[in-house]
Structure 1
Amino acid sequence: MNTSVKLGTALITGASSGIGAAYADRLARRGYDLVLVARNQARLDQLADRLAKETGRQIRTLAADLNHSEGVHKVEALIRDDQTLTMLVNNAGIGSAAPLLQADVDVMESMITLNITALTRLTYAAAPAFVARGAGTIINISSAVAIAPEILNGVYGATKAYVLALSQSLKHELADKGLRVQAVLPGAIRTEFWDVAGTPVDSLPAEMVMSVDDLVDAALAGLDQGEFATIPSLPSVDGWNAYEAARVALVPHLSLSKPGARYNVQ
């Protein structure tokens, strides 16, 4: 146990289980104090007690439901006011595997509220605070469906595409102001996500499903290596670089005064 390293405080949403709990474990062992945010106070306390004993870090908890404005406002206030905060991990989210014609639109709206609205508000609280302090890191947990929305529920894919797009914009606008941004795009991960989404994880091919520990270890390795977008199962960064190069190549042609020649518009 090394308590001499001080990297500031990391706030993690959805921290009581799964990916968020794994981030809490790894970041505490790296030398971060933590603020753990989730709905379940009992789970938060159990995790905080264990990590405090094992790492010697200061672990605080904040029970908040990010599907409701009251919970979001509590976390926003903490982010703005806590001068020790150096990292935000936007992990809280829900998913769905239901086809559009079988999906409940109220559930879709709730997913948008958590995956997009809450994440946006917390990001808007953190980014100015980090810029004012001259440094800070925002890790946004997106998904592989951000670039392959046909795989699962379309609204879920759209929410994760939003997370990726917001992260790209943050990097473009604020990287030179001391803000570090990483988007993590996991594939299928063995978590409670699949129970909520309505597709048992054991129904998926085993070779598709990564453990939470491997995901978070790979994501943090990507952060250490300076990656903006980390797709943990991608064999080489060349795949992402090719995808991004193709996207960037389109940009000069997205808004011109004349239609493309293939439309034969005189």
Structure 2
Amino acid sequence: MSAQQAAVLITGASSGIGAVYADRFAKRGHDLVLVARDQARLEALAARLRERDGVNVEVLRADLTQRADLLKVEKRVAEDSRIGVLVNNAGVASAGGFLDQGVEEVTRVIDLNTTALARLASAVAPRFVREGQGAIVNIASVVGLAPEFGMSVYGATKAFALFLSQGLHLELGPKGVYVQAVLPAATRTEIWSSVGKDVNTIEGVMEVDDLVDAALVGFDRRETVTIPPLPDVQQWHAFNQARQAMLPNFAQSQAAARYREAAHDPK
């Protein structure tokens, strides 16, 4: 199936970024499989898109933190050859700092933001490789680049999404599979109310439509990393070049002199 004809499976599709991805892909003529917990919202969105765009839209209710539901979606992306694009958008944040969150809340964030994302990518990738085409879009965040923002667990999960996307680009790209990481900054979604923050009190908040439209420009350009809020893309290139410059220096038989000398200092 060609990329133009491929159906798109979108997680977290009932609102926010996922719902706008559904809107935009429907406008492009793609059939959709919409995944989220809120059945009523999914059905309302699906009905609107069917009527407006004449596309087939299937609703697949699932809570991706629950193993049975996750397995159901994994099976679908692994076996349904009509699905040629996976948008891994489902995600959650937590209120407070690390000490406020507790083990169960930390686990919930990791289960959805990293485990579900990686498992769905793992489920679909072998089929995409066999078919020699397909696309995986992982919604990460600029928070994954900035521990200074004070969202340690959420940021770590988004750093994982970025790293995984870059690694899969290197592994799967030569086999015909496109992988994109999208890094929003503050975006006007319901995630803010879920952590007890009023989005209207935050500066520099991007509208969801603008975020997704920019992400799709990156998708069409086949960018590996798309950062819609970053004005100067050369800053990202410089960041990446600085990281790559370290790589040849990691293979050393001895610790660096600054540690070696201190370890043998008689003081």
Classify the TM-score, shorter chain: over 0.9
Aligned to 1:22: 20
Give the AA of the match of 2:229: S
Aligned to 2:139: 141
Q: List runs of 5+ in structure 1 lacking aligned partners.
A: none
Aligned to 1:47: 45
State the Cα distance separating 1:113 from its structure 2 match: 0.6
Matches within 5 A, 1:233-244: 233-244=229-240
State the Cα distance separating 1:104 from its structure 2 match: 2.6
Distance change in 2, residues 1:19/1:152 (3 Å): farther
Q: Distance in 2 between matches of 1:27 and 1:260?
A: 51
Matches within 5 A, 1:1-266: 6-205=4-203, 208-265=204-261
Q: Distance in 2 between matches of 1:96 and 1:7?
A: 38
Q: Distance in 1 between matches of 2:30 and 2:238?
A: 34
Query: Does the aligned pair in 1 maintain the 2:94–2:105 contact within 8 Å?
Result: no
State the Cα distance separating 1:42 from its structure 2 match: 0.8
Distance change in 2, residues 1:43/1:90 (3 Å): same
State the Cα distance separating 1:238 from its structure 2 match: 1.1
- Deviation per CA, 1:171-217: give whole Å up to 9, x if none: 11111001100000100000100011222212212xx1000000000
Give the AA of the match of 2:173: A
State the Cα distance separating 1:102 from its structure 2 match: 2.0
Query: Does the aligned pair in 1 maintain the 2:178–2:222 contact within 8 Å?
Result: no
Q: Distance in 2 between matches of 1:237 and 1:228?
A: 13
- Deviation per CA, 1:113-158: give whole Å up to 9, x if none: 1111111110101111111111000000000111012214201101
Query: Does the aligned pair in 2 maintain the 1:39–1:65 contact within 8 Å?
Result: yes
Give the AA of the match of 1:120: A
Give the AA of the match of 1:50: R
Query: Does the aligned pair in 2 maintain the 1:15–1:38 contact within 8 Å?
Result: yes
With the length of structure 1 as denominator, give the TM-score of the two structures: 0.94
Q: List runs of 5+ in structure 2 lacking aligned partners.
A: none
Instruction: Say which SS state the counterpart of residue 149 (structure 2) adopts.
Output: coil
With the length of structure 2 as denominator, give the TM-score of the two structures: 0.94
Query: Does the aligned pair in 2 maintain the 1:8–1:85 contact within 8 Å?
Result: yes
Q: Percent identity?
A: 52
Instruction: Say which SS state the counterpart of residue 210 (structure 1) adopts.
Output: coil
Q: Distance in 2 between matches of 1:51 and 1:122?
A: 25
Give the AA of the match of 1:16: S
Instruction: Say which SS state the counterpart of residue 61 (structure 1) adopts.
Output: strand
Q: Distance in 1 between matches of 2:148 and 2:50?
A: 42
Give the AA of the match of 2:139: I
State the Cα distance separating 1:6 from its structure 2 match: 4.3
- Deviation per CA, 1:55-112: give whole Å up to 9, x if none: 1111111001101001101101110111111100000010124112222321111111
Query: Does the aligned pair in 1 maintain the 2:13–2:36 contact within 8 Å?
Result: yes
Query: Does the aligned pair in 2 maintain the 1:94–1:197 contact within 8 Å?
Result: no
Give the AA of the match of 1:21: A
State the Cα distance separating 1:264 from its structure 2 match: 4.2
Q: Distance in 1 between matches of 2:200 and 2:150?
A: 16
